[in-house]
Structure 1
Amino acid sequence: MWIRTSFCISVLFAAVQTVSSNMDSKALSASIAKFSARFCNELDKTKNVVSSPLSAEFVLALVALGSEGAAHSELLKGLGIPNDDAIRSAFTSVSQKLRAVKGVTLNVANKVYIKDGDYDLNEQLKTDAIKVFDAGLEKVNFDDGAAAANLINQWVESKTNKKIKDLITSDCLNQDTRLVLVNALYFKGTWSKQFDPNNTSDQPFYINEQTTVDVPMMYREGDYWYGESQELGVQLLRITYVGDDASMLIVLPNEISGLDAVLAKLADGFDLMAELDKMHETKVQVSIPKFKIESEIDLGELLPKLGIKTIFDKANSGLTKMLNKPESLFVSKAIQKAFIEVNEEGAEAAAATGMVFVAMSAIIDGPRLNADRPFLTIVVADNTLHFSTIYRGK
């Protein structure tokens, strides 16, 4: 998944109750999940969409540390994190654990591009960027928008196996640009138990009760972690990747047109994590589509719907602690780009989050999961959500 010049989010779980400044990775996962659910609930309900909660969280958290007033309050509330110290402890912990995930390729990279000359990050924010987010810092001549955009886009491509291209466009950058924050996230995993391509065939997929389209449907019978939630109205299936540290969770509504209701419940705070704890390993007949999705989401329109709006205010953005000199900044552009591919071997996904700041100027004995209707998937590693996909067959 990718984000261009701002932040992003997506997916599901439960609200964070902690008020401690020591926020562990489990609590952070819960906050990502809740914000992700609210984010997904605002996405286009007519097409397939992929997004990355984690990529967005990294950028939003760094911006929160450089904000104050209403902007700071909105960001903390949106992130579900109580204070700045909790941001520092949580993201230091999650960064360390992500580097230790085994069996899959999981790359997380952060970069801060700063206007050349005597501009620099605020001293405390610079320390946080390096120590907490392991971010690289680079001076750039934003006056040459085309060259600056090319430099940033090449870095993003290099960190996402060339899956995310053209994150930044040259018209976003000019002499008023002061900062561009970018997070790049890349994931590639191989199923612990792969699907046999010979069992893949075109099958009808219900877009709604009246309309079907043929999609390539993979099939496998075997042992999986499986569960059912009557309250949420879904079947749950967890497919692990090699190494068992990462998995893809499938949330399949019982009703053909049930996905929007499921997303709404999750956005309202339904505790999906509690349902995952009830899952058990059993024989399952699994049918899921083979798909590839690319998305671009305008976060400048979406984030204000989630209560994060002051950072876009040209008159009073609250971004007073970003730079080493007193200058009013605001977020001029916020876009996410994302990519995911799921096939018989496994899944590959990528995302980037950026932010531009501009100065004012066969039958077996067991359950069957047949994903032949709109559903949600979530890539999870170390109990942290990385990518979420809403698949509607179109």
Structure 2
Amino acid sequence: MPSDRRTVLALTGALLAGAAGCLSDDPADDDTGSDDPGDDHADDDDSAAGSSDGNGFDGYDVPDFPQLELATDPEIDETALAEQVRGNLELSFDLLAQLREQEPDDNLFCSPYSVSVALAMTYAGARGDTAAEMADALRYELEGDDLHPAFGALEAEFARRNEDGEDVDDPTGEGHDGPAFQLSTANSTWGEEGVDFDEAFLELLEAYYGAGMRLVDFSGSPEEARERINEWVEERTNDRIEDLLPGGSIDASTRLVLTNAIYFEAMWKYPFSEEDTEPAPFTGLDGEETEVEMMHQSIEVPYAEIGGHQLVELPYANDDTSMVIVLPAAGEFDAFEAAFSVDRLATLLGETSRPEVELAMPTFDIESKFSLVETMRELGMERAFGDADFSGMTEGDNGLVISEIIHQSFVEVDELGTEAAAATAVVMEESAPPDRVELTVDRPFLFFVLDRPTETPLFAGRVVDGETLQEE
């Protein structure tokens, strides 16, 4: 796939439906499976920047770019895929918003893609009002007949991305250990022996998610089943996600667990020099300064600034994947984060040029683990946890409900690149221009790891606390 193709994020109006014109500031707006592991600008009216809300976005139109040409397997209409990619992006904003309410002073990291896939597999067995609530909460823009092929197309595209990554050369030319680019995803279902699972449900999961059914004895040996699932996750995340399912999360009443694992390791296209890394202050959300290790380099990369809010896009070695860093204006992080949206991200990306950026940013590592039950309840997914209808999963009346959704993630960013991993488990039981600019990331910021040809948000995070930013 050509690396210069515009992103799905900025596809046609089908992707950004209803977003043209001024942007609002309203923040409310038995194992059958394998065990083997130069851009156009929007409205350039100078009066739009620095508007009365202090966010500098009023008056900017969401950019409109050419339709993406995406080779997918299974085949799916590109506009339909674009619609779901927008839904995936919106879910990433929803998740960050809910998680920051729970931990407002903490650094956060998650994989919206992992969450969405694990729950899409669960959604395949939902019916009636349960399915309707899940589709709304998870921002599923497509009907089931199109939704699952859309996810299957993304899975196939990422598999190709990973295959192509085998030929990506080490940008430093120094023969560092490990791949210059790796992106792998895996799905699996773990079902109770003796339960009569619906054949159509299993066939759908195998066809679009590659999720073979692994039979386990939850009722007789729940701890053994838990350990087996955790081992599967560890193997597929290079041991970065350990003990995804904690003790007690699986018991004799468990009937089905659906899992997704994603692993990402990539070198920067333009690596930083370790010799240029030096201590520098980082001002946290509470105003306190902490000394962190700050990387430095001067590079020509996509950069935008609107109303004092800055964005920089740092490509990885494969050219198709990048980290997008969004640095709100000093003192405006809270207001910016509350109003940030898919459309505003699209606007910033649409305003990019390629100046020489004097970039300073910290190395960082974040580990997060969440139960997403209350998060999904807040997003409107109620019935799945109580009066649920998952009759598409088994033959007859099964009485299955979601008892837990566990998401765990890890990211490490240094001079050479990024390593990230995440896993999600759904447990079921019965009943993110001047010629030369400076960007110093020394205060709270948001970041996203994006697959650019499909603009799928693989990972998303926020950094607000320097004290814990570089803990070993």
| TM norm structure 1 | 0.89
* Counterpart-to-counterpart distance in 1, 2:336 and 2:389: 35
Q: Cα offset for 1:169? A: 2.4
* Counterpart-to-counterpart distance in 1, 2:306 and 2:211: 40
* Counterpart-to-counterpart distance in 2, 1:88 and 1:218: 41
| Partner residue, 1:6 | none
1:38 aligned residue (79, 94, 100)? 94
Larger Rg, first or second structure (1 or 2)? 2
Which residues in structure 2 correspond to 1:73-152 (within 5 Å)?
73-80=132-139, 81-101=141-161, 102-103=164-165, 104-117=181-194, 119-142=195-218, 143-152=220-229
Q: Residues 261 and 423 of structure 2 are in contact (CA less than 8 Å); yes or no, is this contact kept in structure 1?
A: yes
| Partner residue, 1:236 | 311
Q: Residues 223 and 251 of structure 2 are in contact (CA less than 8 Å); yes or no, is this contact kept in structure 1?
A: no
In structure 2, the CA distance between the partners of 1:342 and 1:327, relative to structure 1 (3 Å rule), is: same
Q: Deviations over 1:340-370 (max 9, x none)?
A: 000000000000011111113xxx9611111
Counterpart AA for 2:150:
A
| Partner residue, 2:54 | none
* Counterpart-to-counterpart distance in 2, 1:36 and 1:341: 20
1:51 aligned residue (97, 105, 110)? 110
Q: Higher strand share goes to which structure?
A: 1
1:264 aligned residue (305, 330, 338)? 338
Residue range with higher mean Cα deviation, 202-211 or 107-116: 202-211
* Counterpart-to-counterpart distance in 1, 2:80 and 2:368: 31
Q: Residues 283 and 442 of structure 2 are in contact (CA less than 8 Å); yes or no, is this contact kept in structure 1?
A: yes
Secondary structure at 1:169 match in 2? coil
Counterpart AA for 2:279:
D
Q: Count the aligned residue pairs.
A: 371
| TM norm structure 2 | 0.75
Any gaps of 5 or more consecutive residues in structure 1?
1-11
Q: Deviations over 1:326-349 (max 9, x none)?
A: 210111111211000000000000
| Partner residue, 2:456 | 384
1:340 aligned residue (398, 407, 411)? 411
Which residues in structure 2 correspond to 1:57-72 (within 5 Å)?
57-72=116-131
* Counterpart-to-counterpart distance in 1, 2:87 and 2:196: 31
Q: Residues 145 and 170 of structure 1 are in contact (CA less than 8 Å); yes or no, is this contact kept in structure 2?
A: no
* Counterpart-to-counterpart distance in 2, 1:209 and 1:114: 47
| Partner residue, 2:53 | none
Q: Cα offset for 1:248? A: 0.3
* Counterpart-to-counterpart distance in 2, 1:229 and 1:24: 31
* Counterpart-to-counterpart distance in 2, 1:129 and 1:318: 18
Q: Residues 83 and 142 of structure 2 are in contact (CA less than 8 Å); yes or no, is this contact kept in structure 1?
A: no
**1:193 maps onto 2:270 in alignment:** yes
Counterpart AA for 1:385:
P
| Partner residue, 1:161 | 238
Q: Deviations over 1:232-278 (max 9, x none)?
A: x521100001120110000110123x3332232235x5342233122
Secondary structure at 1:135 match in 2? coil
Residue range with higher mean Cα deviation, 211-220 or 221-230: 221-230
Counterpart AA for 2:304:
G
In structure 2, the CA distance between the partners of 1:264 and 1:93, relative to structure 1 (3 Å rule), is: same
* Counterpart-to-counterpart distance in 2, 1:93 and 1:266: 28
Q: Residues 379 and 388 of structure 1 are in contact (CA less than 8 Å); yes or no, is this contact kept in structure 2?
A: yes
Alpha-carbon RMSD across the aligned residues, in angstroms, is 2.1
* Counterpart-to-counterpart distance in 2, 1:91 and 1:385: 13
Which residues in structure 2 correspond to 1:268-347 (within 5 Å)?
270-313=343-386, 316-347=387-418
Q: Cα offset for 1:17? A: 4.0
* Counterpart-to-counterpart distance in 1, 2:149 and 2:400: 27
Counterpart AA for 1:340:
V
Q: Cα offset for 1:209? A: 6.5
In structure 2, the CA distance between the partners of 1:209 and 1:167, relative to structure 1 (3 Å rule), is: closer
Q: Cα offset for 1:64? A: 1.6
Q: Residues 390 and 398 of structure 2 are in contact (CA less than 8 Å); yes or no, is this contact kept in structure 1?
A: no
Counterpart AA for 2:367:
E
Q: Deviations over 1:161-201 (max 9, x none)?
A: 00000011241222211100000000000000100011111
| Partner residue, 1:249 | 324
Secondary structure at 1:273 match in 2? helix
Counterpart AA for 1:296:
K
